[in-house]
Each structure stands twice: as structure tokens, then as C-alpha cells.
Amino acid sequence: MLSSALLAIKAIRAFFTFLIRYILGIRFALNWVRAVSICIITLGLSLSPTITVLAQPKTQSTYTLTGKVIQVSDGDTLTIRGVENQKIRLASIDAPEKKSGSNRPAQPYSEPSREYLAKLVAGQTITVLCFEKDRYDRHICDIPVNQTTANRLLVEAGLAWANQQAGGKYLRDNDLLSLERQARAAKRGLWVEPNPVAPWVWRYRCWQQGQC
């Protein structure tokens, strides 16, 4: 009886010893698998190429207007008639100011500038590319002419400035700066004058301060 009891105790002890080793073996195996997985993931990340997501540039919304040019007010303003009359202000340029009342005299070359724009578009049905409206309810637009724009042609002819008012805030077409330098170097149009005054300076100095 005693030997039988001893054998039973040994059997129970052997069973529990096996069970403990089995459980520990599974835990070790799981830890080993986890460690290997982490190594593989880390290695994969280190070898994979770096992907940089670039922010997409914001596209500037534009719209078109079509109508017949019924009036050219000055070198950078005209009116077209479509469904209704629309006043257009040429984008990115500033032309010499015409006379606006007794206290607002005209700038030199204001009339040649107006005549030049009129020769390009007066009486024609045109489609203009616009960006926004200004505080005067005018559409700010580029005026396509052949393979270029009336905006560029005016600056190239020395009959308008690239608009650099407020540090270039209103300049959308940077190529106008180069065209202006070329016109200045060739002394075309208003650049034949020794010290031509930019329209935004003229409006402040002459019209507001009376220093014409």
C-alpha cells in the first residue's frame, strides 16, 4: 500500500512538473515570436523608402466673362456688354491716371495708354479671365490677345506699370516685372521721361496731398 501511495505521489509530481514546463515553454515561445516580429517590423521600416506627403498648392479660383467692349475708360479699365454691362479692371498692371475732376489732374501718357488699349480691344467681343471683384465692383481680369494679354502688351509698350502697390500685393503675373525692365531700358512710352511717377504714388502724392 505504501509503495502504491509513493508511486501515485511521484506520478502526480511528474504531471505537475510537465505541466509547469509546458506552460513556461509556451510563454517562452510567445515571447520569442513577439521579439522576432518586432525585429522584422523595425528592419522593414528602416529599409523602406521615406515617403514625404507634399501639401498640394492652393489653386486660385478663376472665372470667365464674355462680352463686347463698349467703352475703354483708360489704360487699365474697360466695359463689356454681355447679359449685362460689366466693368473690367486689368489685373496686375496700373496705367497712368486720367483727369478726375479739377483737383485730380491727369498723368502724362494717360491718353496714349487709353488709346493703345482701345486699339487692341475696342468694339471686339472678348472673353476675359477674371480672379475677383474689387471694392468698386469691377472684375479684376487678364485680357487675352492673340498669344499674350493686353495687360502684358501695355507694360511692354511702356504705357503701364507692373502693379507693385502695397509691396506687390496686386501682382499676379510676375513676368510683367521683366517686361517693365525691358521697356524702361529701351525708353519706350512713359519711360522716356526722366522721372515718371507710378500711378499709386501719383494718387497719393498729387490727388491726396496736392503735391503734383
Query: Which is the catalytic residue, given 138, 152, 156, 180?
Result: 138
pLDDT value, residue 11: 57
The residues pairing with 149 across neighbouring beta strands, listed in sequence order, are: 144
Is residue 149 pLDDT above 60, yes or no? Answer: yes
Give yes or no: 138 in active site.
Answer: yes
Reference 178, options 190, 186, 170; nearest CA is 186
pLDDT value, residue 131: 98
pTM: 0.71
Give the C-alpha separation, 141 to 122, whole Å: 16
Give yes or no: 114 in active site.
Answer: no
Query: Which is the catalytic residue, given 34, 84, 97, 111?
Result: 97
Query: Which is the catalytic residue, given 89, 114, 152, 203?
Result: 89
Give yes or no: 172 in active site.
Answer: no
CATH number of 63-208: 2.40.50.90
**pLDDT band at 125; cut points 50, 70, 90:** very high
pLDDT in tens, 1-43: 445 554 555 555 655 555 455 444 534 343 434 543 443 334 3
Task: Locate 4 and state its grid cell.
Answer: 502504491
**Triad 187, 113, 195: Cα angle to 5°:** 40
